[in-house]
Structure 1
Amino acid sequence: MSNQDNQDEVLRWVERVATFCVEEWALPPITGRILGLLMICDPPERSAGEIAEAIQASRASLTSNMRFLAAIGLVRKVRVPGDRTTYYRIEDDAWHKVIQRKLDSLGAFGDIAEEGVKLAGGTGPGTERIRAAQRSLTWLRDLAARNPPNK
């Protein structure tokens, strides 16, 4: 397989990651492309210019997305001694952080559900719908707690 063929396959995979991020998490496609590229690239660090070129993004759009990813702890800046360029790399535990945030949000729904049950009067169809949602989300949270991802 030629280097170009491999590069094309890598970019197709990066696009699949982007599509997943759009469909599952409502992230902008560029954010998913950045994550996909930083997961698969070797070496694992890339400059903003290298990322922009690889995923064919504007520097302005890339900069705002890199700031977002850094702020939520999925990507970090890396400095190389003697090099003035800023590089970026995906955090080793990025996906664990994503999942943990989702699990935390499931736990937070419990308080919201309790308030809804009180507002619905504690009985009746509204209360049952709220309780069904609460049971499902609690089940998912508890399932994840019993089967944590390997670090």
Structure 2
Amino acid sequence: MSDTAGNEDVFRSDFVRRFAEYWQSQGRSKAEGRIVGYLLLSDREGVSAAEIADGAQVSRGSVSTAVRRLEELGFVRQVQAPGQRHRLVAMGDDVWGNFLRNERGYLRRQRDLAQAALDRLGDGLGPAGRARLVNMRDYMVWLDGYHDTLLAHWEEYKERRDAAAPRR
């Protein structure tokens, strides 16, 4: 292995580690973070669970659990491997836009939870608790409504970026 390839491997490993640390600091599992970090650097359309376990340095069981959760979040999808029984894990080019699209379910569940508390507890809430719950509900409603604008701005930004990119 050349010195350059060795340095690249060290950098990749460090990237996965650092990405996982950040991911974990946001309340997510470290295994999920290692898998996302690994897939961000992958040049392949789809990667097997065994390859992910090896490349992300996580257990095979962690891969299965984490991939299900990452699918729910919109970070990965499972695709059929051509001519094989097993499925591959794939990450789209715009994983962050997909995350934003899929965040809506979370916002709506949080909105509904706040509304349920307001409905159920009603007059039993003091002014401070009521204000916090109203702000929670309304923030979720506001942010959910703003997603279309955020996604449109993101798509416009990518179009401008791609149009300005030098042609190779």
TM-score (norm 2): 0.68
Partner of 2:163: none
Q: Percent identity?
A: 23
Q: Give the deviation of 1:11 after TM superposition.
A: 1.8
Counterpart amino acid of 2:15?
W
In terms of mean alpha carbon deviation, does 132-141 or 12-21 score higher? 132-141
Q: Aligned partners of 1:93 and 1:15: how far apart in 2?
A: 22
Q: Aligned partners of 2:80 and 2:39: how far apart in 1?
A: 13
Q: Give the deviation of 1:2 after TM superposition.
A: 0.2
Q: Give the deviation of 1:15 after TM superposition.
A: 1.9
For structure 2, the 5+ residue unaligned runs are: 159-168
Q: Give the deviation of 1:66 after TM superposition.
A: 3.5
Partner of 2:139: 136
After superposition, give the CA deviation of every residue in 1:71-92 in whole Å (9 maximum; x if it has no partner). 66623134134x6775332244
Q: CA, structure 1 residues 123+147, in 2 after alignment: closer, same or farther (shift >3 Å)? A: same
Q: Give the deviation of 1:65 after TM superposition.
A: 3.0
SS at match of 2:79: strand
- For residues 115-134 of structure 1, the aligned pairs below 5 Å read 115-118=116-119, 119-121=121-123, 124-134=127-137
Q: Aligned partners of 2:49 and 2:104: how far apart in 1?
A: 31
Q: Aligned partners of 2:117 and 2:101: how far apart in 1?
A: 25
TM-score (norm 1): 0.74
- For residues 1-150 of structure 1, the aligned pairs below 5 Å read 2-24=4-26, 26-70=27-71, 74-81=76-83, 86-92=87-93, 94-118=95-119, 119-121=121-123, 124-148=127-151, 149-150=154-155
How many equivalent residue pairs? 149
SS at match of 1:80: coil
For structure 1, the 5+ residue unaligned runs are: none
